[in-house]
Structure 1
């Protein structure tokens, strides 16, 4: 069940069956009059509703009234409780206050299935979203991000859909982490049907979240509108593969509007499924490649990604003067010490000493009175492409 004032909770539960997600008009009514009064007006005399609930046509108001007459909040609250869930709304202890940033378009309440406290989870959460028809690369990156964020103690939020969403949830679950799916339907409805088992695992290990009462099915507009909840609920949104026209970009843009962090995982420049991500990165998005970089952006002080650098090559460890002598050797022939000294800009005695040092390290070998680069230099060392004069 839910906490808080029983009349307000029951009225809000009823209104989730009356108003579509994101209905700012209904949100304004509730803000101005309270949920219980709005339900009283919608189920009372038509004339009263027409005078008090302004901003809609008579036909639209009739639609609200028909839905209000059919709402069964007590039944819905019992159904969700039977699933091990509950209903949370503004004014109750489990309400995540960051959703209030949505203004009148904030959810009237949320139906939850699963044990964890949403308010607590949302404080340390990241959304991972992307294409439904993702590539193997996109699925791999989403799964890796989910697992990496879980290992760092972050909650991964997504939409439970095919493609990137499912991969992110699976990666998190496989790592024993916390994940939540924001649905465009009731929390008892398995959609897509192919994810029935996955959604069941999320309900058991994490949270299923929906704005619609039990039994309600998704529509195209509801998918788009649930994205605002994903954006507002989390500290930041990561987009993994998205075409130029993608619902994932809607989530990212809404996150930007709300002042949340927006990130993108780059892909091939030739991939249409990465084109939307690249446009995001050309704007306000931040490029990320793994969970450590995500956490560095959304986390607290000290949660830094490791320094990125390539492998240390054997020649990187040489002293600068020795490296100049090595670079002065021709690529495909032997050279005398005097020639090497001139190319390196040093004295002959200095060059000879450095050449013997390089010989002991395996970089060069003697060839008569000259010196030659070894065919197989130490691991990681690179061959020079010709006589190069070292700088000072």
Structure 2
């Protein structure tokens, strides 16, 4: 293994790599070689968030070897052979999966653009976090092979880990009722020592961030694009305030633009990084239901605030209460109980009820299987036709996903359709 191109790339970006690693954690940079950090950044540069094929490959071969192979032009077969010699994983990617992966990743190997991206991160004083760093949010590791290889942070990386956190999410087109609930919930959680996590969007997200800031609390915003360009533009000043006292985070490199798919993938980080997720107000098509689905799939506590039964803005919350076994919460005190009595790091401690939940099998799910899982309810069976419409996948992909979920105990046939299995 030559690694000459990786070393050359490291030399070109050396000063900027030192800059982005220097503030990677409040207790100083982790003992990581520049080429190791560079490899993780490079793989995040060429792949879309949550790419399970890349995650399985890195898990079996290591980020540095995978990056070297991409730069040196290894074939899919060579990746398979080297992974096997390294001991690999039982679910290591096949040559066919890798051929498709290489066809996705290699066209993005623009070395000059990559060096500019790292330089831009240094210019905006972004920090690079890697797994194992003191400020790394270990909850995202529950995403398994869909977990990020690195995170970019503007602000205080320690904001990600210094307090237990609860995600407050909801509709962009929030009503006055929803905004009132967001203010009361965010401020109340800050008073109880929680950090507030959200997505920086208009509506509920922005209101939750503002209320946390107004009460001198810690708040963290996860973006669907690079941290060098705050999005939405109308929240540039708000996100700058979040970064001044908390953190603005993304797994995407600087220069990356937000897209619909990246928003959906960003949602999995919100659900995984927080100890619990609460949906404050959501319509039937709200993106916050996607975040709730990830939280449920991860075995995280999920809460939903009820609203008027005549309000379309609360229809999504009512669906979560009816079909996803979300806990009905109406105050910050009840939201705090989701963590305190869950045993996953809250004040009351105790055993972890998610220990036997399906989180152990999530790391072997493909993106298609995860989409199918997110679309399933616990009570009402979903037909294949419904799942095709909800997920945007083909009938064949849905059937394949259902078979895998059935085999791993995450889903079961019920009558004419399928349901998500409850954690035991």
**Alignment TM-score, normalising by the size of structure 1:** 0.73
- Which 5+ residue runs of structure 2 have no aligned equivalent? 1-19, 22-29, 81-94, 341-345, 350-424
Q: Distance in 2 between matches of 1:200 and 1:104?
A: 31
- Give the counterpart of 2:104 among 63, 77, 96: 63
- Give the counterpart of 1:52 among 79, 97, 116: 79
Q: Distance in 2 between matches of 1:81 and 1:144?
A: 37
Q: SS state of the match for residue 146, structure 1?
A: helix
Q: SS state of the match for residue 237, structure 1?
A: strand
Contact 1:189 1:215 in 2 (8 A): yes
Q: SS state of the match for residue 56, structure 1?
A: helix
Q: Once superposed, which parts of structure 1, at least 4 consecutive aligned residues long, lie more than 4 Å away?
A: 57-60, 71-75
Task: Return the offset for 1:256.
Answer: 1.3
Q: Does 1:268 align with 2:296?
A: no
Task: Return the offset for 1:59.
Answer: 6.1
Q: Does 1:34 align with 2:34?
A: no
TM-align CA RMSD: 2.0
Q: Distance in 2 between matches of 1:93 and 1:241?
A: 34
Task: Return the offset for 1:74.
Answer: 5.0
Aligned to 1:325: none
Aligned to 1:390: none
Q: SS state of the match for residue 26, structure 1?
A: helix
Does 88-97 or 177-186 show the bigger shift? 88-97
Aligned to 1:161: 201
Spell out the pairing of 1:46-125 with structure 2 (5 A cutoff): 48-49=75-76, 51-52=78-79, 54-56=95-97, 58=99, 60-70=101-111, 75-121=116-162, 124-125=164-165
- Give the counterpart of 2:333 among 292, 310, 320: 292
Q: Does 1:5 align with 2:33?
A: yes
Larger Rg: 1
Task: Return the offset for 1:39.
Answer: 1.2
Contact 1:125 1:155 in 2 (8 A): yes
Aligned residues: 301
Q: Distance in 2 between matches of 1:147 and 1:39?
A: 44
Contact 2:51 2:146 in 1 (8 A): yes
Q: Distance in 2 between matches of 1:185 and 1:19?
A: 13
Residues 103/172 of structure 1: CA separation in 2 closer, same or farther (3 Å cut): same
Aligned to 2:238: 198
Does 228-237 or 84-93 show the bigger shift? 84-93
Q: Distance in 2 between matches of 1:264 and 1:182?
A: 20
What is the CA deviation profile of residues 184-240 of structure 1, one whole-angstrom value per residue up to 9, with x for unaligned ones? 000111211111111111111110000111121100000001110000101100101
- Give the counterpart of 1:18 among 24, 43, 46: 46
Residues 61/17 of structure 1: CA separation in 2 closer, same or farther (3 Å cut): same
Q: SS state of the match for residue 171, structure 1?
A: helix
Q: Distance in 1 between matches of 2:316 and 2:110?
A: 43
Task: Return the offset for 1:69.
Answer: 3.6
Residues 171/231 of structure 1: CA separation in 2 closer, same or farther (3 Å cut): same
Task: Return the offset for 1:302.
Answer: 6.2
Aligned to 1:182: 222
Q: Distance in 1 between matches of 2:73 and 2:200?
A: 41
Residues 201/133 of structure 1: CA separation in 2 closer, same or farther (3 Å cut): same
Q: SS state of the match for residue 149, structure 1?
A: helix
Task: Return the offset for 1:84.
Answer: 2.9
Task: Return the offset for 1:250.
Answer: 1.2
Q: Does 1:140 align with 2:180?
A: yes
Task: Return the offset for 1:301.
Answer: 4.6
